[in-house]
Amino acid sequence: MSRFKKATLSQAKARVALTGPSGAGKTWSAIKLARALVGEKGRIAVIDTEHGSASKYARLTDFDVLELHTFAPAEYISALEDAAKEGFDAIVVDSLSHAWMGPGGVMEIVDNAASRSKGNKFAGWKEGTPAHNALIQAIQRSPAHVIATMRSKTEYLLEEENGKTKPKKIGMAPVQREGMEYEYDVALDLDLDHLLMVTKTRCEALDRWVLRPPHNVEKLGEILRAWLSDGAPADPKATLGSEARVLVGLLEAIVAAEPLAGAIASAKKDWKKMSKADQAAVTAAVEAAKVRVGEAERAAAEKAQAEAAAKASEQPPAPAPADELEPGGHDEADPADVAGDEQPTLFT
């Protein structure tokens, strides 16, 4: 059997990276874009690492906020999982740069691990890289739209204006691991003049887009939403981790009455490896399996009761009248023989 399958278009959730220097308008743009993606009734969660700055935009639209004060990748992962568990439709991570350079971030993990290994940076990255990769995987498998802002490294360019040379602050590469923007469907760059440029996209309709202030971010969100909504409904298991996908598949097979008891036992050890969101998904699958099994048991019991009732309601055929009996076919009982005893019946 081939491991390949026909490529088909399926619905998906947005993964957007928004990069720019401090003051470019990343938070404002991210929240506006999130609202355009989820519509008026959609729920938005903001993971705020900027000392409560996101709440200053509360007049823009309705959203919930979680403020992080330490920035280990595990903290971000936990926040993403909690947002998924609470059913938010879009998650704004503002900003993802702290997961790299902030207190508890990847660079600090690497430095601490290297110090324990007498300055061996290779040993440091053995701890830092898995932590970073786990965060990327958590973003990718989130069941919500995810918009992550990243600060860009600030540099100055000398330019001439009215015969005078003056420095201009410009944004360069994002403060994150090199190539981080490639993990997203759309990468947007903002500059200090609030010029927004689409620098990378899988959506052809957004190729080479440039938005000048005032931004029409909502239009960009509408185009992206339409593109993501095209195709067949997404497989709900697509956002699960590998261990959770295995267990959910096994549970579905159990309901289908497949003999998988041995495989189930071997898969139980994967439970502790799962994220909270994955454990919640597996728990939901277990509950769904219980419901279906319960429904099947009730249906079987109701069928058995109906059959028993139908059998009990069957009446025996009435005995033939005496004048219809054939001669010699039935002897008349002597009343003396049955006196004081129960009257005989045709069926005993």
- Interatomic CA distance for residues 296 and 302, integer angstroms: 10
Query: Using one digit for the tens of pLDDT, what is the confidence trace for 193-212?
Result: 899 999 999 999 999 899 98
More confident residue, 218 or 64: 64
Please report the pLDDT score of residue 165 as a whole number: 79
265 pLDDT more than 60: no
Query: Stretch 170-178: mean pLDDT, rounded?
Result: 75
316 pLDDT more than 60: no
Chain region(s) in the chain for CATH 3.40.50.300: 15-229
Please report the pLDDT score of residue 237 as a whole number: 59
Q: Are 284 and 87 in contact (CB under 8 A)?
A: no
**15-229: CATH number:** 3.40.50.300
Could you tell me whether strands 90-94 and 44-48 are parallel, antiparallel, or unpaired per DSSP bridges?
Answer: parallel
Query: Stretch 66-88: mean pLDDT, rounded?
Result: 95
pTM recorded for the entire structure: 0.67
Q: Are 152 and 20 in contact (CB under 8 A)?
A: yes
Place 161 in a pLDDT band, splitting at 50, 70 and 90.
confident
Q: What DSSP assignment string belongs to 324-342?
A: GSPTTSSPPPPHHHHTTSP
Query: Using one digit for the tens of pLDDT, what is the confidence trace for 179-192?
Result: 787 889 999 999 88
Query: Stretch 294-314: mean pLDDT, rounded?
Result: 72
| Residue 286 CA: distances (Å) to CA of 84, 247, 271, 281 | 19, 9, 13, 9
Please report the pLDDT score of residue 289 as a whole number: 72
More confident residue, 71 or 325: 71
The end-to-end CA distance of the chain, in Å, is 64
